[in-house]
Chains A and B, each alone.
Chain A
Amino acid sequence: MTTSDVISKLKSEINCNISTEKSDLETYGTDWTREFNPDPLAVIFPKTIEDVKNIVSFANKNKVSLTPSGGRTGLSAGAVAKNGELVVSFEKMNKVLSFNKADRTLEVQAGITTKEIQDYAKEKGLFYPVDFSSAGSSQIGGNIATNAGGIRVIRYGLTRQWIKGLKVVTGKGDILELNKGLTKNATGYDLMNLFIGSEGTLGLIAEATIQLTTQPKDSSVILIGLKNIENSIKVLELFREKLTLNAFEFFSHSAVKHVVKKLERNIPVCDTLPYYLLVDIETPSDNEIEIASEIYTNAFETGLIEDGVISQNPSQYRELWSFRENITEAISVFLTYKNDISVRTSQIPDFINDISAILNNEYPDFDTILFGHIGDGNIHVSILKPHDFDKEKFLNLCRGVNTKIFETVAKYDGSISAEHGVGLIKKPYLTYTRSEAEIELMKGIKKVFDPNGIMNPGKIF
């Protein structure tokens, strides 16, 4: 059957909107990564779980591979369709199906955005704590498929912690209702959690039951300058011992000049220090400010920290956060090679020193930026291509250095992908984090759910 035969058959058998327009293929066939050229068969827009089931059934019968597509904000090319896949866009499955006040749960279709869930929760006087800068575009289905993290993991955990149930269509074409909103369910293998982080390789997530929680109390943020990265985890320990932390973020000095340029605002602490921390603490009363002040004063007097300021009102809170939140956007004017790696939190100082040494050695002339959620042991490494440097040469150089970075990750028993997933981009490096035995088991699990191998083939392994 030729490609156009398959498309005609698809159009006649499946009652969904289907596009083969070039611009749609290019848009829906990729994500925020720009390394691969999208080349999907077509884009299909289901509206219900039954539509999804019909699509999977068609794909099995006609040997068509499927690539799920959410908000397309992924950074590992997990949603890239480069080999004639049929892209299943969840854009039209964007409804809230029900809200249960007593359970504090929300049933949604997979294509609703993270921000819409946050706003809905707020309207109900509740809170959905998973948050990241792409929340306005990213969809819950994609969040679940990559077990997305973000800025509040230190307090609230990853997406996984907030999923109480999933309705999925397996690669075989079965609809499974997993966990059904239960808090406790000790009845064998946890299939719902197998789908969380599976990057579309086992089946398609169509609906989800989301757990909401109590809104956080008033918070303040402290911006701290450090002379040594060794002190960062000591500072974390001091604050965490006595206060509730909402976030514990970090960025290197090299990020400052880009953010300052973008915001047109100077950083309100000494701007020549090598490392900065952003500590977000819950401060419902003056008591917490007093405790924070004591910790700060002791840390300052013992030389753990060099400088720092605290927000005293909501606008200062937003402004201090903006220095961290705007890093990705500020460097987006450059072609950036990104890594998202993690180790245990206690190992962060040694790990950052090792990674910095590699970067200084291998890229002495490149602008390299470190930032991330070090309270979770997670750093993002960004290497900026100089404007006058050849693109292919730059990417090849970066891929070469990856080996050294990932050898270091492996030395620390860390992860080559902390929160962005594996997709296509991290696939060649999976063995630095997972053993051959583990990878074989994963492949076996995929075979059970997706015997014909039609679900997002080529991703993860």
Chain B
Amino acid sequence: MKIVVFITQTQDTEAKIKVSASGDTIDTEDIKWIMNPYDEFAVEEAIQTKEKFGGEVIIVSAGPTRVAESIRQALAMGADSAVHIEDEGFANTDSYTISKIVASEIKKIEGVDLIFTGMKIIDEESVQVGVQLAEELGVPHLSLVSKVMDVNPDQKIVKCQKEIDGGSVVVEAPMPALITCPDAMNEPRYASLPNIMKAKKKPMTTITAGDIDFDSLGISSDALSKNGAKVKTVNLVVPEVERKLKIIKGDDDPMVKGDEIAASAKELVKLLKEDAKVL
């Protein structure tokens, strides 16, 4: 049984995001990159599935050179091999292009039974790549799966549990099928040091833009750029924090004396009447 996991990289969740001068992208200078947390759940689920039902796990990722770090992390966690579709342009394109290209590479892997990926990527939150991959591959899509319950490689059936409001539901689908993984689906494992070293020796195939036949995929040759993307990010805005709390006190000292309290109380009443209009 072959299990594919599609992973991406995102900014560290504690990175301080700054909008670049052009206003349509972020300043990446001091950014640290991590595996998209939802994809980490997908990798863990794929490895657990392999451990229970047998098979091999193949990581597929599309992105700049730095993405290799996250691929190595997935290999150290227990995946067996990887395909890196490497191009700086993936950072600027849209989910449609990504899905077209990634699906074409997954199709080249013979005998795939399951495809796992995160339910969304936490950078722009388009929540589309998983769904579009299933469409491009022509396979059923099981969304928001909380647990893979059973896999039958002979009968080619996968059975999963999904959480719904107030309960859960069990669904099954013929394989190959694509599963998108929600938050807290499992506890992604840490790699041991020996496994990190072994991961270096695991096969990783790198594909470049030159290897992609854009025409046959029905996308323009400049699809891996801002110009060629169908959906373009035109403006990024960091929300301004509106400070609604107003502290009234005599001065900046922790204690307020008697006459200052009277003045502060008058000020408070005035604001409650005029600004807040609650009196």
- Give me the interface of A with B, judged by CB distance under 8 Å: 17, 19, 21, 24, 45, 91-92, 222-223, 265-266, 268, 289-290, 292-293, 296-297, 300, 307-316, 318, 320
Which of B12, B76, B187, B254 meets A314, CB within 8 Å? B12
Residue ID in chain A nearest B77 by CB atoms: A312
Which residue, B12, B13, B254, has most C-beta atoms of chain A within 10 A? B254
Q: Which of B78-86, B190-198, B238-246 contacts A (4 or more CB under 8 A)?
A: B190-198
B26 to chain A, nearest CB (A): 17
Which residue, A21, A45, A307, A314, has most C-beta atoms of chain B within 10 A? A314
A87 to chain B, nearest CB (A): 12
Is the Cβ of A289 less than 8 Å from the Cβ of B192? no
**CB neighbours of A314 from chain B (8 A):** 12, 14, 32, 34
A268 to chain B, nearest CB (A): 4
Q: Mark B168-208, 1 if CB is under 8 A from A, else 0.
A: 00000000000000000001011111101100000000000
**CB neighbours of B278 from chain A (8 A):** none
What's the Cα separation between A289 and B192 when bound, in Å? Answer: 12
What's the Cα separation between A312 and B77 when bound, in Å? Answer: 10
What's the Cα separation between A24 and B257 when bound, in Å? Answer: 14
User: Taking A268-B190, A308-B192, A313-B35 as contacts, is the C-beta distance between A318 and B253 under 8 angstroms?
Assistant: no
Which of B12, B35, B187 meets A265, CB within 8 Å? B187
**CB neighbours of B252 from chain A (8 A):** 92
**CB neighbours of A309 from chain B (8 A):** 190-193
Residue ID in chain B nearest A312 by CB atoms: B73
Which of A91, A223, A293, A316 meets B254, CB within 8 Å? A91
Is the Cβ of A17 less than 8 Å from the Cβ of B192? no
Which of B34, B35, B189, B196 meets A310, CB within 8 Å? B196
Is the Cβ of B190 less than 8 Å from the Cβ of A21? no
What's the Cα separation between A318 and B13 when bound, in Å? Answer: 11
User: Taking A265-B187, A314-B14, A314-B32 as contacts, is the C-beta distance between A297 and B194 under 8 angstroms?
Assistant: yes
Asked whether any CB of chain A lies closer than 8 Å to the CB of B279, the reply is no
Is the Cβ of B254 less than 8 Å from the Cβ of A297? no
List B229-259 residues whose CB lies under 8 Å from chain A.
Answer: 252-255
Is the Cβ of A24 less than 8 Å from the Cβ of B194? no
A239 to chain B, nearest CB (A): 12
- With A289-B196, A297-B197, A308-B192 known, 7 other A-B pairs at CB within 8 A are A17-B253, A19-B255, A24-B254, A268-B187, A296-B193, A312-B73, A313-B73
Q: List 11 A-B contacts (CB under 8 A).
A: A19-B254, A293-B196, A307-B192, A310-B196, A312-B76, A312-B190, A312-B191, A312-B196, A313-B33, A316-B190, A318-B14
A202 to chain B, nearest CB (A): 27
What's the Cα separation between A314 and B120 when bound, in Å? Answer: 20
Is the Cβ of A292 less than 8 Å from the Cβ of B73? no
**CB neighbours of A266 from chain B (8 A):** 187
Is the Cβ of B34 less than 8 Å from the Cβ of A313? yes
Residue ID in chain B nearest A269 by CB atoms: B190
**CB neighbours of A316 from chain B (8 A):** 190
What's the Cα separation between A290 and B201 when bound, in Å? Answer: 13
Is the Cβ of A310 less than 8 Å from the Cβ of B254? no
Closest 10 CB pairs of A and B: A309-B190, A296-B193, A313-B34, A293-B193, A17-B253, A268-B190, A293-B197, A312-B73, A19-B255, A314-B12
